[in-house]
Structure 1
Amino acid sequence: MYTTGAAFLEALQEAGVSYIFANLGSDHPAIIESLAKAKKEKKALPTVITCPHEFAALSAAHGYAQATGEPQAVLVHVECGTQNLGGAIHNASRSRVPVLIFAGASPYTQEGELTGSRNEFIHWIQDVPDQRGIIRGYTKYDNEIRSGSNVKQLVYRALQIAKSDPTGPVYLMGPREVMEEEAKPVTLSPELWEPISPGAIAPNQLGELTSDILRAEKPLIITSYLGRNSEAVKELVRLCDKTAIPVIESIPHQMNFPADHPMHLGSQWNTAEQNEHLAEADFILVIDSDVPWIQMKNKPSEKAVVYYLDVDPLKEEMPLWYIPSKRFLKADSYTVLSQLNQFIDENCTLNKTIINERWKKYSSIHQRMVEEKRKLEQAESDMITPEYLTACVRDVIDEEETIILNEGITSYGAISNHIELNTPGSYYGSGAGSLGWNGGAAVGMKLAKPEKTVVSLTGDGSYLFSVPSSVHWMSKRYHAPFLTVIYNNSGWKAPRMSTLGVHPRGIANEMEDFFVHFDPSADLASIAEAAGNAKPLNVDSKSELKTALRKGLNTVKEGRSAVINVSIPHVYLKDETIYSMSIKDNIAEMGVEK
């Protein structure tokens, strides 16, 4: 019998979904039966990736979509599975990742009236008043499948919304009786369900923007995720080449601008210092960035002219967000940069003297920044700092063949500044705030780009949040090997820094206890070995580091995941400032006054 469940799966296949990341339950008999029938009949359907944990499932779909732009499907079990998506749905929402989530629902009959009626005790326990409401605040669209007659239309509509800017997750649910219902086959034309076209800006806005850019003496561009479209990176480079506008990346979670470009002025994270280039800019074009700066610490001059360009320039889902700007331009960055470059080429006479002087100035600053980074990477002690570790990773990878994931959290800035990548599509962060994205995302990216070597750089806290047992089981079963490098500082450093940011001389600092230590340390690499036969490597000294990294990379290229657990100290020195997970013995041992 052709059922709603069969039609649902068929719709996913027709709409171009390649994978179903599934955590199946008692609400999915129609799905399971339809998958089995398709396998028996050799009918093409999306490949099922069994995921022992829902967080890992959605993180994998997240990674796949980041690497390809194409949404995948995630199947979870009623409200419990929906709840277990946890922070992964926050990540997908904030990172604007297209994905279709489907959850079953408890049966709505209990005396055998329909096929699929309640026959297990959990069908009462898992029946809740508003299952869709659990994640409604994180989805662009949610709906319930009530009939097999229009299930394909609902799937197509959901995917159309997921893929339309601003992209994001969508959620469908269907009770057992409906999914078991006999349905008539329906044929749809995918070309009639395309996402909305990318937006441009009006001619008068284009002229005004161009005029303000060329009038500025110290223009600046700030971006965080322009690199979602590799063609946008090329257009940004083209603009900066001819106008000598420098670029700062703010909490980048894409490769937005080549690190070796003379106009690249580095990246910033939760920096506590004022960025001098941001402060002196008289014109700032913010392109694709949720948090271009943090007003309490590091902001532009009040006299600076600011333009905000984004598919969601008002951040309508963020209750507290405002950066007063001359213009908010709701448009696609690639489209607008193409417009801008063409308009300048066809209509403007550039002041070569000013541009040459600016190029010379910022090229010199860029080179000085590179030299300063090299000094940080060459610390004389035997401590493995995040800067040194990242430099070693940079030295052993082949950028053209590698995808780097960054979930280093308190090492995020060190990684983004020192990994120094130049190839679009070579670098990703989660783009959001729930830790643990890195593991599932690595599996998803490897499935999306099997020819690439995927390297996940993560803190020890983020590694544990990723559900490594599930992730590495998935990695082994589905032949998706990747390298994990753990920046292990034995705890959560971020809460300590947050506390000191508010209470710099507080009691927690006095007591030297922030309740964030992971002592005694777990054997993190062996978790992955036990679950998925990943090769475990532990590094405690500089002399071991590059050898271990090369060994790990070779292991991955041979088809087996590897996890390198690198001990970075509780306390290390950088620019005469103590950055630490602070324990007294380490401070005393280093000879630093408390």
Structure 2
Amino acid sequence: MAATATAASTLAQAQPGPSQQGTSDPNTPRRQGAVTLKDESTPRNRELTYSSCGGDYMVDVMRSLGIEYFAATPGNTFMGLHEAIINYGMTTAPNLRFLTTMHEEASVAMAHGYAKIEGKPMACGMHTAVGLQHASMAIYNAWCDRVPVFMITGASIDATRRNLWVDWDHAAQDGAAMVRDYTKWDDQPGSLRAFGDSAVRAYKFAMTPPYGPTLLAVDTLMQEDPIPGDKPPPIPRLPSLSAPAAEEGAVRDTAKMLVEAENPVIFADRCARTPEGLRLLVELAEALQAPVIDSSNRLNFPWRHPLNQTASQRGLISRADVLLELEPGDPFAVSAERSPDGEVRSLMQSGSKRITISSVDLYMKSNYQDFQRLPLDVDLAMAADAQATLPSLIEEVKRQLPDSRKAAIAARGTRFAHTHQLALQRARDAATYGWDDSPISMPRLCQELYAEIKDEDWSLVSGTLFQSHWPQQLWSADKHYQYIGEQGGAGIGYTAPATLGAALANQKHGRLSVCINGDGDLMFGPGVLWTAAHEKIPLLYIIHNNRGYHMEIMQLQAIADRRQRGIDRVHIGCEIANPNIDYAMLARSMGVYGQGPIDNPRDLGPAIRRAIEVVKKGEPALIDVVSQGR
């Protein structure tokens, strides 16, 4: 009873509180006093340092696009741009800040997380072929997650000016080829004027749905050499970008089906690109009093809204007479299943209607199979951006909705509100089991964290799959930035750097960024902790330290059990133990405040409070929590 009472108090629902004030200081450049003059070639009215090299022009192009950060591990094929950023971009306004990373994968992943909060790309640089090879997994994650990233790699084009054997080993005739299948667009501009055109085009393509990473391979000498004629080329102007909306007739037909349906269901995947997308989906759902299933790849719908029926997905799909899917990443799995013997069957009832609105239909490639299995029985497929289509769909639904249907629709909403409360209570009850266990249970870890942040302007910048989605089941979240989803391509090593990029975007808004990071994920690139300390990015890392690759352990258990060999050896190759890693000590070695390992659940709340005080001062902090599998 005592444990249940404690849980009931901890699990009390609370709404997010008012925004806190920002605590971080801007990065102070180390070199000052540059001579300035008016440069009429740029579209902005500002004072600029005298520009004498190609790298300076590239800085101005990036600044004209509103790019504020450039993350990179240094490499000699983009040293000309590197020098231009630190001695020109960081000393004149608007500031372009160089962020030092320990691995190219971290550079891209930081940009990935940043874009999901800020809604625009961050730049990152890579050293020719080998740097791009390092970055490739992070690029694939961004591609699968439909996230804009602006990437530059150096290119040693003139073979006669390569100095050493290593320059030949690192050179490539078409370096971008290795990632072309999972970038939206790439180019190798042959002049500064062409660089300006290509950069604007790369930004435009990255920011047109479906979003995606773009790459420019930039000649090393073009970065370093003086600008021909000492006059930089004009910088092309970036136009306002408008996302493609669905055709009017298809929207009208969709609205008619939704209005007339007895059991309409909305499935939302990467639908809410911005806070406006979240607001629009709420408006549509409330107009229809239709249940919403959220994939959790973004915060598409408030977690505690009565129409959030994510917990009832299978039952709702089986009863739906109209299913509307918004940006479905895996449309096959939404309404179908495959049995162990390979048989495929639909979960939907005969005669039901299925509609998809997806910008991915506008742009897809064939080699990597992230387009998923062909969905069953789609009646209407609109190749369009779902968020851009919602305003016209909402207007059409309201126009077609007769007064005679409003009472029945209101009653439908009342039923779903009751169902939502029942699901919430079931989750709260389930969370009490093992509440005082050691290692610490996932519900306890998540709720101890929420108890400390619920009155702050918080942002959970990590995914929740490996925590069995307990935050979605128990927390209250209704702001777009409070949750940004998973990694996209399921590439491990994403969380630590991507959450740091998201925290960087949250920093100027004064938000409290928190992350639940798997132990295995962190060990793919622990050097990101040094970047967090060096760049003074406030973020709370809570390490979900289950001392193993837990999903793989479960899969090995299933295989070994099927072969009747026992499961006593499945820890081999999956366990992260003997010796145990002290993540708090690791953090402290890199200048990050660290606590733990903590295995007593009663110690967790006070540790989180202490760490939050550090984060509020503008510094990163880490808590090592010895925890259960998931």
Q: TM-score range by the shorter chain?
A: 0.7 to 0.9
Match of 2:175 among 123, 128, 131: 131
1:139, distance to aligned residue in structure 2 (A): 0.6
Tell me if the contact between 1:455 and 1:484 (Cα under 8 Å) persists in the aligned partners.
Answer: yes
Q: Counterpart of 1:367?
A: 421
1:286, distance to aligned residue in structure 2 (A): 0.9
What SS class does the counterpart of residue 312 from structure 1 fall into? helix
Q: Equivalents in 2 of 1:79, 1:236: separation in Å? A: 43
What SS class does the counterpart of residue 190 from structure 1 fall into? coil
Q: Counterpart of 2:593?
A: 534
Q: 1:173 to 1:315 in 2, by over 3 A?
A: closer
Tell me if the contact between 1:305 and 1:326 (Cα under 8 Å) persists in the aligned partners.
Answer: yes
Q: 1:163 to 1:354 in 2, by over 3 A?
A: same
Tell me if the contact between 1:382 and 1:542 (Cα under 8 Å) persists in the aligned partners.
Answer: yes
Match of 1:497 among 542, 554, 559: 554
Equivalent residues in 2 for 1:45-64 (5 A)? 45-64=95-114
Tell me if the contact between 2:245 and 2:389 (Cα under 8 Å) persists in the aligned partners.
Answer: yes
Please list the CA deviations of residues 243-276 of structure 1 after superposition, one character each: whole Å capped at 9, or x if unmatched: 21011112x12211111111111359xxxxx822
1:494, distance to aligned residue in structure 2 (A): 1.4
Q: Equivalents in 2 of 1:232, 1:319: separation in Å? A: 23
Q: Equivalents in 1 of 2:79, 2:102: separation in Å? A: 18
Q: Counterpart of 2:158?
A: 108
Q: Equivalents in 2 of 1:40, 1:20: separation in Å? A: 11
Q: Counterpart of 1:96?
A: 146
**Do structure 1's residue 391 and structure 2's residue 462 form an aligned pair?**
no
Q: Counterpart of 1:590?
A: none
What SS class does the counterpart of residue 425 from structure 1 fall into? helix
Per mean C-alpha deviation after superposition, the further-off stretch among 298-307 and 140-149 is 298-307
Equivalent residues in 2 for 1:269-308 (5 A)? 275-291=314-330, 293=334, 295-296=337-338, 300-303=347-350, 304-308=352-356
Q: Aligned AA for 1:373?
A: A
1:496, distance to aligned residue in structure 2 (A): 2.9
Q: 1:508 to 1:517 in 2, by over 3 A?
A: farther
State TM-score, norm by structure 1.
0.87
1:504, distance to aligned residue in structure 2 (A): 5.1
1:37, distance to aligned residue in structure 2 (A): 4.7
Tell me if the contact between 1:535 and 1:560 (Cα under 8 Å) persists in the aligned partners.
Answer: no
Q: Counterpart of 2:281?
A: 236
**Do structure 1's residue 332 and structure 2's residue 385 form an aligned pair?**
yes
Q: Aligned AA for 2:598?
A: V
1:81, distance to aligned residue in structure 2 (A): 0.7
Q: Quick one: higher RCO (CA 8 Å, sep 6+), 1 or 2? A: 2
Q: 1:21 to 1:68 in 2, by over 3 A?
A: same
What SS class does the counterpart of residue 547 from structure 1 fall into? helix
Q: Counterpart of 1:141?
A: 185
**Do structure 1's residue 209 and structure 2's residue 254 form an aligned pair?**
yes
Q: Counterpart of 2:477?
A: 421
- The runs of 5 or more residues in structure 2 that have no matched partner are 1-50, 340-344
What SS class does the counterpart of residue 86 from structure 1 fall into? helix
Q: 1:334 to 1:124 in 2, by over 3 A?
A: closer
**Do structure 1's residue 459 and structure 2's residue 534 form an aligned pair?**
no
What SS class does the counterpart of residue 448 from structure 2 fall into? helix
Match of 1:549 among 583, 587, 608: 608
Q: Counterpart of 1:583?
A: none
1:66, distance to aligned residue in structure 2 (A): 0.8
Please list the CA deviations of residues 304-329 of structure 1 after superposition, one character each: whole Å capped at 9, or x if unmatched: 31111121148834354211311111
1:218, distance to aligned residue in structure 2 (A): 1.4
Please list the CA deviations of residues 414-459 of structure 1 after superposition, one character each: whole Å capped at 9, or x if unmatched: 3433334222221112233112222222222222221111101122
Q: Aligned AA for 1:407?
A: G
Q: Aligned AA for 1:497?
A: M
Tell me if the contact between 2:155 and 2:172 (Cα under 8 Å) persists in the aligned partners.
Answer: no
Per mean C-alpha deviation after superposition, the further-off stretch among 331-340 and 205-214 is 331-340
1:21, distance to aligned residue in structure 2 (A): 0.7
Q: Equivalents in 1 of 2:202, 2:310: separation in Å? A: 38
Q: Aligned AA for 2:97?
A: T
Q: Aligned AA for 1:516?
A: C
Match of 1:161 among 205, 222, 230: 205
1:386, distance to aligned residue in structure 2 (A): 1.3
Q: Equivalents in 1 of 2:450, 2:61: separation in Å? A: 43
Please list the CA deviations of residues 284-339 of structure 1 after superposition, one character each: whole Å capped at 9, or x if unmatched: 11112202536227963152311111211488343542113111112222332211
Equivalent residues in 2 for 1:501-512 (5 A)? 505-507=562-564, 509-512=566-569
Equivalent residues in 2 for 1:172-183 (5 A)? 172-183=216-227
Per mean C-alpha deviation after superposition, the further-off stretch among 442-451 and 32-41 is 32-41
Per mean C-alpha deviation after superposition, the further-off stretch among 372-381 and 297-306 is 297-306
Q: 1:498 to 1:420 in 2, by over 3 A?
A: farther
**Do structure 1's residue 436 and structure 2's residue 493 form an aligned pair?**
yes
Per mean C-alpha deviation after superposition, the further-off stretch among 145-154 and 76-85 is 145-154
Q: Counterpart of 1:519?
A: 577
Tell me if the contact between 2:85 and 2:96 (Cα under 8 Å) persists in the aligned partners.
Answer: no
Per mean C-alpha deviation after superposition, the further-off stretch among 18-27 and 408-417 is 408-417
Q: Equivalents in 2 of 1:25, 1:8: separation in Å? A: 17
Q: Equivalents in 2 of 1:218, 1:512: separation in Å? A: 49
**Do structure 1's residue 22 and structure 2's residue 22 form an aligned pair?**
no
1:71, distance to aligned residue in structure 2 (A): 0.9
Tell me if the contact between 1:221 and 1:247 (Cα under 8 Å) persists in the aligned partners.
Answer: yes
What SS class does the counterpart of residue 517 from structure 2 fall into? strand
Q: Equivalents in 1 of 2:151, 2:217: separation in Å? A: 8
Q: Aligned AA for 2:356?
A: Y
Tell me if the contact between 1:263 and 1:363 (Cα under 8 Å) persists in the aligned partners.
Answer: yes
Q: Aligned AA for 1:369?
A: A
Q: 1:406 to 1:279 in 2, by over 3 A?
A: farther
Q: Equivalents in 1 of 2:91, 2:245: separation in Å? A: 47
Q: Counterpart of 1:411?
A: 467
Identity %: 24
Tell me if the contact between 2:86 and 2:98 (Cα under 8 Å) persists in the aligned partners.
Answer: no
Q: Counterpart of 1:349?
A: 402
What SS class does the counterpart of residue 193 from structure 2 fall into? coil
Q: Counterpart of 1:81?
A: 131
Q: Counterpart of 1:65?
A: 115
Q: Counterpart of 1:585?
A: none
Tell me if the contact between 1:219 and 1:283 (Cα under 8 Å) persists in the aligned partners.
Answer: yes
What SS class does the counterpart of residue 307 from structure 1 fall into? strand
Please list the CA deviations of residues 378-409 of structure 1 after superposition, one character each: whole Å capped at 9, or x if unmatched: 12552222122212222221365111023354
Q: Equivalents in 2 of 1:80, 1:535: separation in Å? A: 33
Q: Equivalents in 1 of 2:545, 2:74: separation in Å? A: 34
Q: Counterpart of 1:473?
A: 530
Please list the CA deviations of residues 475-533 of structure 1 after superposition, one character each: whole Å capped at 9, or x if unmatched: 12222121011222211111233445667523565454153111222112221211133
Please list the CA deviations of residues 517-566 of structure 1 after superposition, one character each: whole Å capped at 9, or x if unmatched: 11222112221211133222332122112222222212211233221122
Q: Counterpart of 1:485?
A: 542
Taking only aligned residues, the RMSD between alpha carbons, in angstroms, comes to 2.5
Per mean C-alpha deviation after superposition, the further-off stretch among 206-215 and 528-537 is 528-537
What SS class does the counterpart of residue 516 from structure 1 fall into? coil
Q: Aligned AA for 1:330?
A: A
Per mean C-alpha deviation after superposition, the further-off stretch among 424-433 and 478-487 is 424-433
Task: State the aligned residue count.
Answer: 555
Tell me if the contact between 1:500 and 1:506 (Cα under 8 Å) persists in the aligned partners.
Answer: no
Q: Equivalents in 1 of 2:456, 2:278: separation in Å? A: 16
What SS class does the counterpart of residue 226 from structure 1 fall into? coil
Per mean C-alpha deviation after superposition, the further-off stretch among 488-497 and 24-33 is 24-33
Q: Equivalents in 2 of 1:508, 1:565: separation in Å? A: 34
Please list the CA deviations of residues 58-87 of structure 1 after superposition, one character each: whole Å capped at 9, or x if unmatched: 111111111111111111111111111132
State TM-score, norm by structure 2.
0.83
1:280, distance to aligned residue in structure 2 (A): 1.8
Q: Aligned AA for 1:367?
A: Q
What SS class does the counterpart of residue 323 from structure 2 fall into? strand
What SS class does the counterpart of residue 486 from structure 1 fall into? strand
